[in-house]
Structure 1
C-alpha cells in the first residue's frame, strides 16, 4: 500500500522507545531528592549523592561512545543499559524504605548500611541510564541521517512518556499513602518497572546500522578538541547542566518547603501537584518546543538557542523566588520548553553536525558528559550547599542572577565564534 511505504518503521520504534524509556525514569528521577528528604537526608547529602550517581556519566559517556564507534556494539550496549535499569528498579522495590521525616545528622548518614544499599541500587539505575542515553541519541541521529535537525520531533515522545507516567506515579503514590504520615513510593517503582520491560522489547526491534570508521579514535579526538565551536558547545552544555540541576533536583524540595510554610492544606496532595508540574512541563512545554525545534534552530542557530535558554532560566528562577502558593508554580513550568527541550535539541543536532565521520558516538558522549557528567553534578553539590545554608527561595534568587550573567557571556561568545569562522571561510574562498 502507498501509505505503508511512506512509514519509517525505525523512526516509529525510536519514538516508542523514548516514550517508554523516559516513562521508566519519571517515577524515580524527579522524586529522588524528596525520597531522600523523607529518609531524613539533608539537601547537602542528597546533593553529594546526586553528584556521585552521575559519576558514570562523567567517566563512561565518552568511553561508551568511543567503544561503540570502534567495535560496532551500539545495540548491545543500548539493550544492556535498559536491562540494568530494570534490575535496579526491582532492587529498589525490595529496598527497605523510610517511614519518617526526622533529619539525620550528615555524618551519621554515611555510616548507615541502609543509605549505602539505597545508594548502590540507585547507582546501578544511573549506570544503566547512562548506557541507554549515550547510545539512544546516537542511534536516533543516525536514523535521521541528513535530517539530524529533526531530532526534537523524535525526542518529544520522551516528553510525552515523562509527563504521562510522572502524573500517574504522583497520583498513585498519594492514593496509596492516604492515612499514612509518609509517602509510599512503591507504586511509582512498579510503574517504572512495567515501562522498563516494555522498553526492552521495543528497543530489541530497532535496526541499528553503524558506519565503518574512517579514522582512529585518537585522530577523531584531536579533531574534536581543536575545533573551537565544539569547545564552546561543551562549555555551554556544562552551564546548561548546572542550571538545569536546580530544576531537576530541587524544584520538588522547593515546592514542599513553600507548601509547609504558606499552604500546609495542600500537603496531602503534594505528590499529585509535583506530578502535575511535570505533566505541564512535558505536554505544554517540551512537546511543542521539541516539535518546532527544527524550525527555530535553523532560523536563529544552535548557539543562539543557548543564549535564549539562559535568559529564560533567569526569568524562571526569579518567578520561583517570589511565589508562595505551590499551585502558581504550575504556570512557570510553561517556560520549561525553552530551558530544556529546545536547547537540548540544539545541543544534540549541533553535535551531530560537528562530529567527524565515524565518531558520532564519541561526540554525543562528550556532549552527554558535559551535561550530565559535569554540569548537573556540579549544580547538585552547589545547590545542596546553598539549599542547606540559605533555603530554597534565596537559592533560586541567586541562581537567577547567575543565569542572567551567563546569558550575557553566551551572547558575547557567540559573536566571537561567528566572526572567527566567518574570517576562516573568507580565507578559504580566496586561497
Structure 2
C-alpha cells in the first residue's frame, strides 16, 4: 500500500508520461505535398525537384536501383502551354491539368552541383491514350506541379521539407502534437523532480552520493540509445524514412517496468514543512540563490539547444555530405554522451564537488559548454563529434549533480520536493524552453554551425561573468539561513565533507 503523496504523484506522472508519448506515435501525421518542376521539349519530358529543396542523396541511390514507377502530375499550365498540349498531345481541354507519367527510375540523374534530381518520363497516359511526351510546337519550361507516385521513395524525395510558420498554427496536427508534448514533458518533469527529492531523502546526511544513484540513469539512457540507433537503421533499410516504431514501444515498456519497480519502493515521507511558501520565500531574498537560479537558466538554454537541435545538426551535416547510417551515428553519439560522459562524471561528481566545490563547478560547466558549442560550429564531419561527446560528463553529469545537491542542501526541512520542483522548473521550464525558442529563431536565419558558434561565444562570456560575480560575492560567502534545528547536523556534515569555502555553508547561519 502506498503511504505518501510524493510517491503517489510520481507514479501518476509516470503513467501520464507513458500515455502521452505513445499517443504522439499514433497522432495524425501531416501530409506534405510532393512538388516538382516539369519541362517538355521536342526530345522528351522530365520533372525535377523544386529549387532549394534538401536532397537525401542516399534516397536517390535507392531510387536508381529500381525499375519503373507511375506518377500522377497536376501542373499549372499557361494558355500557351495548353495550345502546345493540344497540338502535340492532342489534349485540347482547358482543364487538362492532370496526367499520368511512366517513369524509368533507373534513368534518374542527380546533379550534385545544382542539387537537382532529374526524372525522365518515357510515356504519358491521358484520356485512354498512351503516347510519348514530346513538345514540338514550342517548349514548356519549368512548370510547377504536384506529384503523387506509386513509389513512396520518390514521393518522399520530392516532398516539401517544411511549411510556413504562419500556416502551422492553422493545422490541427500541430496542435495535437503540441498538446501531447506538453503533457508528456509535464509528466516527465514532475517525475524527475520528485524522484530527486525522494533520492536525497533516502540518502539522509550523505547527499554527495547522489551521483552514484543518478549514474544508473545515464547507463540506461546511453545503452538504449546506442542499441536503438543501430536497430532503427537496420529496421529502416530500404524504407524512405526511418522507422521509429521500436523506439516508442521500447520506451513505453521501460516506463512500465519503472512503474512496477516504483510500486515496490519502500519510502515514506517523514518530514514536513508547516509553511512551505514562507520557508522557500526566505531563500529567495538571498543574492546567491538568484545567481544559482540564473546559472540554471543559462545551462538550461544550452541544454535545450542540445536536446532539440543537436541531432538535427548532425542529420543536416550527414545529408549534405551524402553519408549513410545516420541513426547509427546518432545512437553512438548519445551512447558516448551517457556512457563516456555522464556515467563516469555522475560517479565522480561527489568527489569533484568536494574537491573544487559547487561554485567552481558551476563556472566549469559554463566554460565547457562554450568550448563544446564552438567545436560543433567548426567541425564539418559529424563523426568527429564522437570524442567531444565525452564533455557531456561535465556539461550535464556534473551540472545535474551540482544543481540537485545544491538545491537539496539549501532546502529547509519539508520543502525538499518543492525546491527540486522549483529548480527543475527554472532549468527546464524557463531555460530549456527559452533555449529551444531562441535556437529555433536563430536557425531559421543562419546555418546550424553558425547558430552553435553564436551561442558558444555567448556562453563563454556568461561563464566569465559568473566567475566575476562570484569573486565579487566572495567564494567564502554564505548560503541562506535554514530555519530549523533538525538540519544542523546534516548541514554540518555536508560542510565538512564538501569544504566550507566552496559550498559556502557556515553553521553560524543555521539557527540553533
TM range (shorter): 0.7 to 0.9
Higher relative contact order (CA 8 A, sep 6+): 1
Distance 1:424 1:195 in 2: 39
- Equivalent residue number for residue 103 of structure 1: 162
Deviation at 1:72, TM superposition (A): 5.0
CA contact (8 A) 2:299 2:427 kept: yes
Tell me if structure 2 keeps the 8 A contact 1:74–1:208.
no
Instruction: State the Cα distance separating 1:175 from its structure 2 match.
Output: 2.1
Q: Which residue of 2 aligns with 1:319?
A: 375
User: Displacement, 1:163?
Assistant: 0.7
1:250 Cα deviation after fit: 0.9
Structure 2 vs 1, CA of residues 214 and 387 (structure 1 numbering), >3 Å: closer, same or farther?
closer
Distance in 2 between residues matched to 1:428 and 1:152, nearest whole Å: 27
Q: Give the deviation of 1:210 after TM superposition.
A: 1.5
Match of 2:18 among 76, 86, 97: 86
Of 82-91 and 350-359, deviating more is 82-91
Normalising by structure 1, we get a TM-score of 0.78
Corresponding residue of 2:316: 257
Distance 1:428 1:86, change over 3 A: closer
In the aligned structure 2, how far is the partner of 1:400 from the partner of 1:160?
Answer: 28
Instruction: State the 1:78 CA deviation.
Output: 0.4
User: Which piece of structure 1 moves more, 140-149 or 226-235?
Assistant: 226-235
In 1, distance between residues paired with 2:396 and 2:427?
A: 11
Q: How many correspondences in the alignment?
A: 356
Please tell me whether residue 174 in structure 1 is matched to residue 174 in structure 2. Answer: no
* Kept after mapping to 2: 8 A contact 1:92/1:189: no
Structure 2: runs of 5 or more not aligned: 31-155, 479-500
User: What is the correspondence of 1:68-217 to structure 2 with a 5 Å cutoff?
Assistant: 73-97=5-29, 102-217=161-276
**Structure with the larger helix share:** 1
How far apart are the structure 1 equivalents of 2:165 and 2:310?
A: 21
Aligned with 2:205: secondary structure?
Answer: helix
Q: Structure 1 residues 134, 424: closer, same or farther in 2, change over 3 A?
A: closer
C-alpha displacement of 1:176: 2.3
User: Residues 297, 105 of structure 1: CA spacing in aligned structure 2 closer, same or farther, 3 A cutoff?
Assistant: same
Asked if the contact 1:82–1:129 (Cα under 8 Å) also holds between the matched residues in 2, the reply is: yes
- Rg bigger for which structure? 2
Task: Label 1:217 to 1:379 Cα distance change in 2 as closer, same or farther (>3 A).
Answer: same
- Relative distance call for 1:425 and 1:296 in structure 2 (3 A) is closer
Q: 1:271 matched to which residue of 2?
A: 327
8 Å CA contact 1:321, 1:396 repeated in 2: yes
What is the Cα deviation at residue 91 of structure 1? Answer: 1.6
Secondary structure of 2:475's aligned partner: helix
Select which of 475, 488, 507 maps to 1:418: 475
Superposition CA RMSD, Å: 2.1
Cα shift at 1:408: 0.8
Instruction: Call closer, same or farther: CA 1:426–1:336 in 2, change over 3 Å.
Output: closer
Asked if 1:379 is matched to 2:435, the reply is: yes
SS at match of 2:386: helix
The question of whether the paired residues in 2 share the 8 Å contact of 1:234 and 1:366 is answered with no
More strand by share: 2
1:393 corresponds to: 449
Name the residue aligned to 2:351. 295
Distance in 2, matches of 1:216 and 1:275, equals: 46
Which segment drifts farther, 410-419 or 332-341?
A: 410-419
CA distance in 2 between counterparts of 1:214 and 1:346 reads 24
* Secondary structure of 1:389's aligned partner: coil
